[in-house]
Structure 1
Amino acid sequence: MSRATRRIVAAHLATLGMSPAEIAGELGVSRDTVRRDLADAPPSATPVELEPAPPVAAGLLLPDGASLRQDLNLLTAAYRAARPEDAARFAIHQAATNVRRAWQARAAARHAAGGDRASGAL
């Protein structure tokens, strides 16, 4: 990483509330280097107002692992999806649809069995 880039990154991390020691650990340099970089950092630009991120479905942050990555790659290829997220979304939808059908069939069977018992047909 160039010195100029390191100064910009150090300044950004400092605005996020990181201490010079934490920044040094993150960038792999000494605390003195970070202090000098912060002292020589270019003035920060006017803060840009970011658009809010789209909502994220609860519970979909998964730790990345080799097996999960292989499965996502397989689904992405099988569904000809543009991104692994699209393939995962489709696979989740398909699984949920199958579960709904099974539950509906089970509920219909219970209803039919309950109706038969009530009429004395059993």
Structure 2
Amino acid sequence: MSRATRRIVVAHLAERGMNPAEIAAELGVSRDTVRRDLAEAPPPAPAPEPEPAPPVAAGLLLPEHPQLADDLATLTAAFDARPEYAARFAIHQEAQRVRAWQARTAPATA
């Protein structure tokens, strides 16, 4: 194993919680070699940032759920509208139904 490869392996094993003696035994090298590799190892590369998910509807963040995506596609096609307009329409319609239900079930005031 090359020195560069060994340094990568040593750094990885150290990140996983192994101490230098355990790493040395695992790789068949001395503890001093492991300590030197750890001391000379370049800092780990930053984790790549995840790519943002493509918006389903501009200005509307929806959880990734197959049924929700299918429902939005159905509404978008049915109304020949942009996804955000279809979502806005569906939300508005449901809010009107809830308001009507609340008005029917609200206790009468004297």
TM-score bracket for this pair, using the shorter chain length: 0.3 to 0.5
TM-score, normalisation: structure 1: 0.38
**Structure whose alpha-carbon radius of gyration is higher:** 2
* Greater relative contact order (CA < 8 Å, ≥ 6 in sequence): 2
TM-score by length of 2: 0.42
